[in-house]
Amino acid sequence: MNKILSFEPISDRMCKLRVKGKSHNLTIINIHAPTEDKQEEIKEQFYEELQRIQDRVPKHDITIIMGDMNAKLGKKEVFSQVIGRHSLHNSTNENGEMVVYYAINKDMFLISTNFQHKKIHIGTWTSPDHQTVNQIDHE
């Protein structure tokens, strides 16, 4: 508990935790992005709020954004610098594109698809009938 510098519940979709580190402090922003079927305006408001929160993080902090991004990231070569080559999916959905463009704009990358994992560990969501597996949670 003495390492926690602050905790800020921002909305029902976002919170921020700041932890004291040895050389750098760590800010973790936990998010639950709108699903693919939500209106474009709602998604844009979400990413605007995320940007406002991240812009207030001290410059020397290590920042991790993690959670349910409801984003499928494909294996497009053009996005490989940000998402790597180890995605479960071949194509990127609209939410995935929003995540990728946000990461590019903030000079970040997604570690969940940048490093290779065993196939059984790639999926982050399984349908109730266990027939569909998706990789939609990223950090």
> What are the chain's domains?
4-138 (3.60.10.10)
Residue 69: the pLDDT is 84
Report residue 18 as tokens: 């700041």
Chain segment 73-90, per-residue pLDDT in tens: 776 665 667 665 655 656
pLDDT-derived band at 99, boundaries 50, 70, 90: confident
Instruction: Please give the torsion angle defined by the CA atoms of residues 70, 74, 80 and 84, in that order, rounded to the nearest 10 degrees.
Output: 70
pLDDT, tens digit, 9 for 90 and up, residues 2-49: 999 999 999 999 999 999 999 999 999 999 999 989 999 999 999 999
Q: Smallest Cα–Cα separation from 36: which of 67, 68, 83?
A: 68
Average of per-residue pLDDT across 50-71 = 92
As to burial, measured by CB atoms within 10 angstroms (0-12 exposed, 13-18 middle, 19+ buried), residue 89 is middle
Averaged pLDDT score across all residues of the chain: 82
